[in-house]
Structure 1
Amino acid sequence: MACECTKRVEYGCGDSTGWIAAVRCLCVGKVLAAIHLNPDQDWSIEALAKIMGPSRSSFAEKFATTVGETPARYVARIRMSRARQWIAKDNTKLSVVARRLGYDSEASFSRAFKRIIALDVISHSGIEPDSQH
């Protein structure tokens, strides 16, 4: 498996978007590293663009084209992934997770968690979202 991953990174395997493409792009890779190291930081488009260098609009377009999703969506997904780990593996209370990730309340975190995790499951399963919700 490690050999396959190495080949994919080295040769690209036609990946023009997604995580591998983003890591191969040095400027976007620096942004991803910053997000993963500090998912609780208030990551505005301006703050992320400063890491990469270009204007806000250039950054947002380059990021979305390379990664395959908007910077805000990516940050939210990474935060919720971290939250899921803390809750499942460390049995961390929701109020603590919410505070660690910069949410004002447990309720606002809980709503965001449900929305983002549901969207993540739907996007990876091919299930059509229920518009009746």
Structure 2
Amino acid sequence: MDILSETIAAIRTGSPASGLFIRHAPWGRRYPKVPGAGFHVVLQGSCWVRPPDGKPIALGAGDVLFMPRGEVHDIMDALDTPVTELAIPGEPRELPGPGVRAVLVCGAYGLGGRRSHPLLDELPEFIHLPARPGRHPALRSAVDLLACEIAEPRPGTDAAIPALLDTLLLFMLRAWFDEQRSPTGWAGVFGDPVVTDALRAIHAEPQRAWTVAELSAVAGVSRATLARRFLGTVGEPPLSYLTRWRMLTAARLLRETDAALASIARKVGYQSEFAFAKAFKREYGLAPGHYRRADEQPEVLAV
């Protein structure tokens, strides 16, 4: 059971989007906040990103910027350039101008906004992954492949791009976790075999009526040790996380399958459809049937 892959699959909704964005200085554009995650990759030239709060971020060729919660931001060729564009769907890929050319790949991921996951909750609003020789070669390869498919579509591109975007998301998260010298929170989860053993058990069998004692036995430690290390990394007690994972799994099944509610209830540990529906509505604010019918496809960043 791959914890990171399963977690991303559980919170992803809809289809990712991406595109090539080319501007010639001077240029400045605003990206509104969206209910998902976004990214920018600079392929040529340089630019600045100005968050609503905090220091501006300088991006050079090869740099990646990841925004886990799709925070509003401005991006421009120079800090003194006024913002004149709003990122919206359907705008031109390239606009002419007298100055230096900048080429970026920009994209967005839909994420289930009604119930989050601590892995994403604890990430900063803006994650800058600078291009450094020898660092994160897998991320660089994914960026190169994505850029080629977007710049020169060929037969199969429509299938290749979503797969590459899913891979890129995982590689951006991996790169961030690898950059943490003193990992805490979820960055520390993947280096703690006790916690990962317990998480794998929960992810593999969410329908099981786990107890802390049973999870401790799986992890090979005492209940007190598991509780302390689990809370210190995951951010909540084991059984609270079990409930969270059950609800995320149920939401994914509702979005992606036509399974009956009674069947989904059993798969996530509820003996009756009524008990499941009550628990689901408490977490998501919607009954399972209403959630399934609701349009969960979020806005995406214009690219």
The TM-score, its normalising length taken from structure 2, stands at 0.36
In 2, Cα distance between equivalents of 1:87 and 1:13? 39
**Residue 49 in 1 paired to residue 216 in 2?**
yes
| Match of residue 38, structure 1, among 188, 205, 208 | 205
Relative to structure 1, the CA distance from residue 3 to residue 84 in structure 2 (aligned partners, 3 Å threshold; closer, same or farther) is: closer
Relative to structure 1, the CA distance from residue 54 to residue 106 in structure 2 (aligned partners, 3 Å threshold; closer, same or farther) is: same
- Normalized per residue, the structure richer in helix is 1
Deviation at 1:3, TM superposition (A): 4.6
Segments of 4+ moved more than 3 angstroms: 1-4
In 1, Cα distance between equivalents of 2:174 and 2:189? 15
**Residue 62 in 1 paired to residue 229 in 2?**
yes
Deviation at 1:13, TM superposition (A): 5.9
Q: How does 1:84-123 map to 2 (within 5 A)?
A: 84-118=251-285
In 2, Cα distance between equivalents of 1:113 and 1:13? 38
Relative to structure 1, the CA distance from residue 93 to residue 3 in structure 2 (aligned partners, 3 Å threshold; closer, same or farther) is: closer
Greater relative CO, 1 or 2 (CA 8 Å, sep 6+): 2
Partner amino acid for 1:5? Answer: L
- Normalized per residue, the structure richer in strand is 2
Aligned length: 117
In 2, Cα distance between equivalents of 1:4 and 1:82? 23
Once the two structures are superposed, residues 57-104 of structure 1 have per-residue CA deviations (whole angstroms, 9 ceiling, x without a partner) of 221121111111111111111111111111111022211111222212
Tell me the C-alpha RMSD between the 2 structures: 1.9
In 2, Cα distance between equivalents of 1:48 and 1:39? 12
Deviation at 1:14, TM superposition (A): 5.5
> Any conservation in 2 of the 1:49–1:56 contact (CA below 8 Å)?
yes
> Any conservation in 1 of the 2:194–2:226 contact (CA below 8 Å)?
no
Deviation at 1:40, TM superposition (A): 1.2
- 5+ residue gaps, structure 1, are 119-133
